[in-house]
């Protein structure tokens, strides 16, 4: 899986990383190639669109980090967006419920449902030390029931005794009863699949769900079927309700489209993946690892991460040094205001600082909102370098010029200067260990 896509993306990004500079046109050209590669990998069109749009936006607006080439930055952006597309964090099967916890497996015939049921039972028994009961609800194919019984015997995991002539929902009830009486932790319900998506299968699954009230409903989907698997997931989720997805045959040579669009299209997490026929071939689905496997550029990604964190550390150290010296000019103030805007404006910043909510009213009364932040940046931008460095030279005529440049009144320039003085005092206080970080703002 992913081989072809990996090769294509690798080629596109390799060409970018070699370049010293990137224009918007370069980014656009790369995005077109990435778009084509994803579509060829059978990723859903809507997912491709939103992915390339997000990457493009960030790539064009990316801050250039010292010691990192623009192309390397793009690799990191692609990597992060791939992870987001795959669901960010890995999600485990949730067993947090009263035992026996019912888990229902649904999916088409041949998708790997019975095998996955056995794989999951094996992992829960051997790794998690749970007592597991497996039950086949496939009343249409006696061979399917027998298949689960054989797997159970091999793995020394209990299966519900077969009673001929019972309806699937009655077997589900019997399984839960046996689970309670036998002191099991988990009951795995392997339902019957059909060869195609049909209403009978859906309504039967809905009835079983009503009877057993499963804590997890997992769709087992064959990743080799690409977008069909995604459509299946959407239909099952609408009709029955899913809590997660297991993608099988990740070891096959599929194009990867199902794995890549499943999460974004259905909103349901891929919890596990089947990587072989044997009962130990089951793995957690880790978005970051999958993205790493697809891009194969882990070294570039970690290089950018390291450079970005060094940059932040360098900036922080420089800021502390300035504070210690009591130096805080208008250029520094501009940087602080930008930082605030980046962190989600005043609201975002306040949410991140414990104990700051008290000051909310004060700040609101001072008229400092996100629009004001932007305006203040604009005022500072209308100044000369010299003025930013040395605000004391700002006399009436200069103030008039600045006000005209920023399209505001002289009064607003005065307000900004007052706010700067307050912030500078606050910075000094912080440098000496006094006062909150927003103290200057509150008095502005
Ligand atoms: P069911 O009809 O949905 O219960 O499907 P089965 O569990 O019987 O699986 C159908 C076939 O797919 C069997 O031959 C399994 O060994 C095989 N299979 C299941 N999962 C995987 C997997 O992750 N990788 C591979 N290579 N084969 C699998």
- pLDDT grade for 3, boundaries at 50, 70 and 90: confident
Give the pLDDT score at 268.
94
Instruction: Tell whether the model's pLDDT for residue 361 goes beyond 60.
Output: no
Residue nearest to atom 14 of ligand 1 (CA): 277
Helices (H) and strands (E) in the chain, counts: 20, 8
Query: Could you tell me if 101 and 186 are in contact, meaning their C-beta atoms sit under 8 angstroms apart?
Result: yes
Give the pLDDT score at 19.
75
| CA 247 to centroid of chain Cα atoms | 18
Secondary structure (3-state) at 327: coil
Q: Is position 35 annotated in a ligand binding site?
A: no
- pLDDT grade for 26, boundaries at 50, 70 and 90: confident
Q: Which atom of ligand 1 is nearest to the CA of 274?
A: 23
Structure tokens that stand for 55 in this block: 């990457």
Find, among 244, 214, 190, the residue nearest to 100 by Cα. 214
Q: Is 345 in the pocket of ligand 1 (CB under 6 A)?
A: no
* Structural domains in the chain, sorted by start: 3-88 (1.20.120.140), 101-285 (3.40.50.300), 326-443 (1.10.260.30)
- pLDDT grade for 124, boundaries at 50, 70 and 90: very high
How large is the average pLDDT for residues 44-51?
94
Alpha carbons 142 and 154: distance in angstroms, whole number = 19
| The residue to which tokens 């015939």 are assigned | 109
Give the pLDDT score at 150.
97
More confident residue, 70 or 105: 105
- pLDDT grade for 438, boundaries at 50, 70 and 90: very low
Instruction: Tell whether the model's pLDDT for residue 281 goes beyond 70.
Output: yes
Residue nearest to atom 26 of ligand 1 (CA): 276
Secondary structure (3-state) at 135: strand
How large is the average pLDDT for residues 111-133?
97
Q: Which residues contact 245 (CB under 8 A, 6 or more apart)?
A: 218, 219, 221, 233, 262, 266, 268, 269, 270, 271
Q: Which atom of ligand 1 is nearest to the CA of 115?
A: 7
Q: Is 277 in the pocket of ligand 1 (CB under 6 A)?
A: yes
Alpha carbons 247 and 115: distance in angstroms, whole number = 12
Give me ligand 1 centre to Cα 248, in Å: 7
Alpha carbons 398 and 402: distance in angstroms, whole number = 6
- pLDDT grade for 23, boundaries at 50, 70 and 90: confident
Which range among 13-22, 141-150, 192-201, 361-370 shows the weakest confidence by mean pLDDT? 361-370
Between the ranges 71-75, 191-195, 274-278, 305-309, where is the mean pLDDT highest? 274-278
Which range among 115-124, 390-399, 435-444 shows the weakest confidence by mean pLDDT? 435-444
Residue nearest to atom 9 of ligand 1 (CA): 112
DSSP state of 392: G
Residue nearest to atom 16 of ligand 1 (CA): 277
Structure tokens that stand for 162 in this block: 């077969």
Find, among 398, 400, 367, the residue nearest to 384 by Cα. 398
More confident residue, 35 or 370: 35
Give me ligand 1 centre to Cα 278, in Å: 9
Q: Is 248 in the pocket of ligand 1 (CB under 6 A)?
A: yes
Q: Model-level pTM greater than 0.80?
A: no
Alpha carbons 361 and 124: distance in angstroms, whole number = 53
Find, among 264, 248, 234, the residue nearest to 81 by Cα. 264
Q: Is 69 in the pocket of ligand 1 (CB under 6 A)?
A: no
Q: Is position 251 annotated in a ligand binding site?
A: yes
Residue nearest to atom 13 of ligand 1 (CA): 112
- pLDDT grade for 350, boundaries at 50, 70 and 90: very low
More confident residue, 190 or 303: 190
Structure tokens that stand for 77 in this block: 């952006």
Whole-number percent of the chain with pLDDT over 70: 85
Alpha carbons 55 and 52: distance in angstroms, whole number = 5
Instruction: Tell whether the model's pLDDT for residue 358 goes beyond 80.
Output: no
Instruction: Tell whether the model's pLDDT for residue 430 goes beyond 70.
Output: no
Strand order from edge to edge, sheet including 158-159: 158-159, 132-136, 186-190, 101-106, 216-222, 244-248, 270-274, 282-284
User: Could you tell me which residues are beta bridge partners of residue 310?
Assistant: none
Instruction: Tell whether the model's pLDDT for residue 308 goes beyond 80.
Output: no
Q: Is 52 in the pocket of ligand 1 (CB under 6 A)?
A: no
Give the pLDDT score at 432.
63
The predicted-structure confidence for 261-276, as pLDDT tens digits, reads as follows 999 999 999 999 999 9
List the Cα angle 148/149/151 in 5-degree steps.
65
Best of 105, 112, 144 to mutate for ligand 1, by most ligand atoms within 8 A of CB? 112
* Average pLDDT score over the chain: 85
Between the ranges 286-300, 304-318, 336-350, 395-409, where is the mean pLDDT highest? 395-409
Alpha carbons 39 and 339: distance in angstroms, whole number = 37
Q: Which atom of ligand 1 is nearest to the CA of 109?
A: 2
Give me ligand 1 centre to Cα 111, in Å: 6
How large is the average pLDDT for residues 169-176?
97
Give me ligand 1 centre to Cα 190, in Å: 13
Whole-number percent of the chain with pLDDT over 90: 54
Q: Which residues contact 142 (CB under 8 A, 6 or more apart)?
A: none
């Amino acid at each position: 899986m992913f081989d072809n896509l990996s090769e294509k993306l690798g080629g596109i990004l390799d060409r970018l990383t070699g370049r010293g500079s990137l224009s918007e046109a370069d980014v656009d050209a790369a995005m077109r190639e990435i778009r084509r590669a994803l579509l060829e990998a059978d990723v859903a069109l809507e997912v491709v669109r939103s992915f390339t749009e997000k990457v493009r936006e960030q790539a064009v607006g990316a801050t250039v980090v010292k010691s990192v080439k623009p192309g390397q930055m793009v690799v990191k952006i692609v990597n992060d967006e791939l992870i987001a597309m795959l669901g960010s964090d890995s999600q485990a099967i949730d067993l947090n419920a009263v035992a026996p916890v019912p888990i229902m497996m649904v999916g088409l015939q041949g998708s790997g449902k019975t095998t996955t049921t056995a794989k999951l039972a094996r992992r829960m028994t051997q790794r998690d030390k749970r007592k597991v009961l497996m039950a086949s609800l496939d009343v249409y194919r006696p061979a399917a029931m027998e298949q689960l019984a054989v797997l159970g015997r091999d793995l020394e995991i209990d299966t519900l005794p077969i009673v001929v002539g019972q309806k699937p929902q009655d077997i589900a009830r019997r399984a839960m009863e046996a689970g309670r009486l036998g002191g099991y932790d988990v009951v795995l319900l392997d339902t019957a699949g059909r060869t195609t998506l049909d209403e009978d299968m859906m309504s039967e699954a809905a009835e079983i769900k009503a009877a057993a009230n499963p804590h997890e409903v997992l769709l087992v989907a064959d990743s080799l079927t690409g977008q069909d698997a995604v459509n299946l997931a959407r239909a099952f989720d609408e009709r029955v309700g899913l809590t997660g997805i297991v993608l099988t045959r990740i070891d096959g040579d599929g194009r990867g489209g199902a794995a890549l669009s499943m999460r974004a299209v259905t909103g349901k997490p891929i919890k596990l993946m089947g990587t072989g026929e044997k009962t130990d071939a089951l793995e957690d689905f880790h978005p970051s690892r999958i993205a790493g496997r697809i891009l194969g550029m882990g070294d570039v990604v970690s290089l950018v991460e390291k450079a970005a964190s060094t940059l932040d550390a360098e900036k922080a150290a420089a800021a502390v040094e300035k504070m210690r010296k009591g130096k805080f000019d208008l250029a520094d103030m501009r940087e602080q205001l930008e930082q605030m805007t980046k962190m989600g404006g005043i609201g975002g910043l306040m949410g991140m600082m414990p104990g700051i909510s008290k000051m909310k009213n004060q700040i609101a009364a001072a008229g400092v909102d996100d629009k004001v932040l932007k305006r203040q940046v604009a005022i500072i931008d209308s100044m000369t370098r010299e003025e930013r460095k040395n605000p004391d030279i700002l006399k009436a005529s200069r103030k008039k010029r600045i006000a005209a440049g920023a399209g505001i009144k002289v009064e607003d320039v005065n307000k900004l200067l007052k706010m700067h003085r307050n912030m500078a005092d606050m910075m000094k206080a912080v440098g000496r260990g006094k006062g909150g970080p927003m103290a200057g703002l509150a008095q502005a």
